Structure 1
Amino acid sequence: MIGCSHHDAAVEFREKIAFTSSQVSEALKAFRSQFPGGELVLVSTCNRIELYTTTGDDQQLDRDAVAKFLADQHSLGVDEVIDQMIYRAGIEAVEHLFTVAASLDSMVVGEAQILAQVKQAYDLACVNDSAGAVTHSVFQAANRAAKRVQQETSIHRRRVSVPSVAVGEVIPEVFDSLRKKRVVICGAGEMGEETLRYLQQAGASDVHILNRSHDRAVALAKSFDAVAVPWSELNDEVVAADVLIGATSATEPIITHDAFVPLHTRRRNRVLLILDLAVPRDFDPSIGEMTSVYLYGIDDLKAACERNRRERQKEWPKAKQIIAEETERFVQAIHHRATGPVIQRLRSQANELKKDELDRLKNKLALDPADTATAKEIEKSFDRLINKLLHPPLASIRDDAAEGHRQGLLEAVRQLFNLGDD
């Protein structure tokens, strides 16, 4: 794996080497053309760009070759790219992918999008024929590891950003569903945009956006299939809202207590959930004391975030243990898979020799064809001899495979018995 993320590279550099979906497809095709025997899965998100590669020829496809390939894709210098990339190989690369897929390496640990993005990257590699036996195995195993973390820990259920807590934990306390609920967002900045993402994931389909700069509201609404409303219609939107969200940068409340009183009358006691995510606050706190109004301020939400963060930290060791177990499981499976063909050829070779010697012995002894009992007893003796002779080397190969073929016994057996290459 060669790549970078928000941990080690500035956003300005990540922007230079990022890929759109169409660019990923073109890059995968170019890779296959340049490295016909290689495999590549390319993960490109706003926070990370990582290339997972493998080949039977390590000299052809090493770190420098991948860095040059990436640099060429963006018309950059190799030095400019390689100086800002991290590199992991073998077990470390596998463990890193599992950690990424499980969202333990994300900017917001536990966010759900990254697993979908990893799956999408793998699917694109399959469609463009740049995935192969190794990448098939490792990415399917990464999915399994991520699912275990989701199911066996509560990390993904512990939200730690203000918008995620507001949408994922507070709204469900008031409304069973956002279906047929009018959501009104005041503010089209970063907080408003992040909140919109969570609202969309939660199934909100009737979202209205207001912003003093109407053009920004229009641009944001277009990105999320929402409705941009002029700021002058704020009061009417408050009356129509089921969920009212404040995310402006105003220095004074956009709705005071006195301004809300007539709007509250017009609402006829319909339940209103107000999520005030702004600092300074967008809504007078006393509004929350009125009947049928539930108001959560930024301090309430931050307290929930901090509580979830502490709970998430308790789950971290369990999640890391799952990653370690799945990494070991995968690596052992790969190592044992490598021993299979050698063991099979060794047994086949032994059985061929047994058959030749058994036929020769039967002819020399001039055994009566009707004497099947004697023939079977001789054959059993040959089988026992072969099994006893093969047991020590096969047991050693399996033990060595479990340790990652550190002693090189697999290659030694292949050469000693003249078994040929895989």
Structure 2
Amino acid sequence: MNMMVIGCSHHVADAAFRERVSFAPDQISGFLDSYYSKHPQTEALLLSTCNRTELYVLSEQAGAVPSRSELIELLSSRHGITAEELDLALYTHRDTDAISHLFSVSSSLDSMVVGESQIIAQVKQAYEAAIDARPKAPLIHRTFDAAIRVAKRVSTETKIHENRISVPSVAINVLAKQIFERFDNKKVLVLGAGEMAEETLTYLKAAGASQITIANRTHERALAVAEKFGGQTAPWSDLQQQLAQADLVVSTTGAKQPIVDVDSFKPVMKARNQKMLFVLDLAIPRDFDDRIGQQFDNVYLYSLDDLQRECERNMDSRKTQWPKARKIVQDETESFFRDTRRRASGSTIAQLKKQANSIKDDEFKRLMNRLDSVSDGDRQQIEKAFHRLVNKILHPPLESIQKESNTDEAQPEPVGLVEAMKRLFQLD
């Protein structure tokens, strides 16, 4: 199996760049369709979250996986970003490194907040979208089933997820509590009604928030979330009025452009009469123009990049569990490729035996047709001799292939003997 991942994350790119290369959920299907029109012999999965956008491509055929430059051109055409800029910003992992990276991502070891709970759900959603785009994708199934299994192992066999701190948790329990001593007397406005909004509301309720208003473009969804958390709804058209009244705003929409810019915020500040406003912009792309926090007094605007600095402190508390979690990822990566090599070598061995037996049977029939008056006993002895001859000829190379496939080295393919055997015997 050949695999490559290309992408960017919070490790290498700021929020401004990440939002430029991100995909909204309704854009993923179209992108995968475009990808498959150019690379039909491969399989692909697109993972796009607030903190990372990564394209995973896989193929059984050597050389079928697109090159880095081809994938950059595809991403460039979709986002209107120059290939040169993408080439400087995107990382690439191949084969063993790609699998190890995926296992680390799914286990939240590569997350902004190590041990956070959202990433595995996001990986599963990306998996579902990939299967919707191409239902028959055996490599995607095998690889991402393994990633989900590894995430479960890390969760159950280490304490890295204990008292897990998600991005919303850090937002409320660290940043918001630096501003507010209490939340029961604060008017909370939540923009958006998705998973991030619900998780943030969970922490807000735990902190004592009770005056909660949900605004969402789809009112039915806002109503469902409001009922779940004991809040009320407001029409999206009343956004400015709600902003003028709120003490704390949590914005989590999937809008492709900022929903609040400097000009639209000016009348809000005038109506607030210099009253302090705390804004947690947890959206990618960002919902609030970042200049708002710079140009207006008494406005505290925090984005995901600001959260990253707080999240780095979380790493210290997880360090004692980090080696054990990394060991699980390493062991599972090696196990995955041992299985991959066995699959590849097993297929080659089966093809070689089938080819050899076909030649043996043809030659045996040819010999029997040329010989006269061969007894049944002699015929059976000759057939057994042919069978033993083929087995003895095949035994050394097949044994060597099996030994190579069982090596502990984490290589994506048993590239030595198996590939040589395929070429020597012209196997598919």
Instruction: Select which of 351, 355, 379 maps to 1:349.
Output: 355
2:140 counterpart residue number: 135
1:186 and 1:58 mapped to 2: Cα distance?
59
- Deviation at residue 347 of structure 1 after TM alignment: 0.7
- Say if 2:375 is the partner of 1:368: yes
Kept after mapping to 2: 8 A contact 1:43/1:117:
yes
2:394 maps to 1:396: no
Structure 2 counterpart of 1:35, one-letter code: H
Would you say the 8 A contact 1:102–1:115 is kept in 2?
A: yes
Deviation at 1:196, TM superposition (A): 5.8
Deviation at 1:189, TM superposition (A): 8.2
1:334 to partner: Cα distance: 1.9
Q: CA shift at 1:129, angstroms?
A: 1.7
- Which position in structure 2 is the counterpart of 1:39? 43
SS for the counterpart of 2:80 is: coil
**Counterpart residue number, 1:54:** 58
Alpha-carbon offset, residue 70 of structure 1? 0.9
Structure ranking higher on relative contact order (CA contacts 8 Å, 6+ apart): 2
Structure 1 residue 315, shift from structure 2 partner: 1.7
Decide whether the 8 Å contact of 2:44 with 2:55 is kept in 1. Answer: yes
Q: What amino acid is the match of 1:126?
A: I
Query: If the length of structure 2 is used for normalisation, what is the TM-score?
Result: 0.65
- Decide which of 79, 83, 86 is 2:88's aligned counterpart: 83
8 A contact 2:116–2:165 mirrored in 1? no
* Residue of structure 2 in register with 1:23 after alignment: 27
Contact 1:125–1:131 (CA under 8 A) maintained in structure 2: no
In the alignment, structure 1 residue 96 sits paired with structure 2 residue 101: yes
**1:370-403 alpha-carbon deviations (Å, 9 max, x no partner):** x4xx554544443333222111111222333445
Tell me the CA shift for residue 318 of structure 1.
1.2
How well do the aligned residues superpose, as a CA RMSD in angstroms? 4.1
Alignment of 1:94-133 (within 5 A): 94-129=99-134, 132-133=137-138
Deviates most, 383-392 or 129-138? 129-138
Contact 1:167 1:202 in 2 (8 A): yes
Q: Does 1:14 align with 2:21?
A: no
Tell me: CA distance 1:228–1:408, structure 2 relative to 1, closer, same or farther (3 Å).
Answer: same
Separation in structure 2 between the aligned mates of residue 307 and residue 49 of structure 1, nearest angstrom = 24
Corresponding residue of 2:163: 158
Point out the more displaced range, 80-89 or 221-230.
Answer: 221-230
Paired letter, 2:199:
R
Question: In 2, distance between residues paired with 1:4 and 1:307?
Answer: 22
Bigger CA radius of gyration: 1
State how 1:21-420 maps to structure 2 within 5 Å: 21-55=25-59, 56=61, 58=63, 61-129=66-134, 132-160=137-165, 164=169, 184=184, 186=186, 188=188, 197=199, 200=202, 208-209=210-211, 217=213, 219=215, 222=222, 224-225=225-226, 226=229, 227=231, 312-359=318-365, 364=371, 366-369=373-376, 371=377, 375-401=379-405, 402=407, 403=409, 404=411, 405=413, 408-417=416-425, 419-420=426-427
Which blocks of at least 5 consecutive residues in structure 2 are unaligned?
A: 174-182, 234-241, 248-274, 279-310
Contact 1:208-1:228 at 8 Å conserved across structures: no
Separation of aligned partners in 1, 2:33 and 2:313 = 47
Structure 1 residues 163 and 415: CA distance shift in structure 2, 3 A: closer
CA deviation after TM superposition for structure 1 residue 355, in Å: 2.4
Q: Sequence identity of aligned pairs in percent?
A: 39
After TM superposition, the structure 1 stretch with the greater mean CA deviation from structure 2, 48-57 or 127-136, is 127-136
Q: Distance in 1 between matches of 2:166 and 2:353?
A: 59
The alpha carbon displacement at 1:195 in A equals 9.3
Per the alignment, residue 268 of structure 2 pairs with none
Rounded to whole Å, the distance in 2 between the matches of 1:37 and 1:306 is 41
Given that residues 40 and 135 in structure 1 are in contact (C-alpha distance below 8 angstroms), is that contact kept between their aligned partners in structure 2? yes
C-alpha contact 1:2 1:86 (8 A) present in aligned 2: yes
Given residue 29 of structure 1, which amino acid in structure 2 is its aligned partner?
Answer: D
The equivalent residue for 1:176 is none
Structure 2: how far apart are the matches of 1:142 and 1:388?
A: 41
Compute the displacement of 1:60 (Å).
7.3
Aligned CA distance change for structure 1 residues 185 and 321 (closer, same or farther; 3 Å): farther
Structure 1 pair 365/397, CA: closer, same or farther in 2 (3 Å)? farther
For 1:198 and 1:157, the matched residues in 2 are separated by: 18
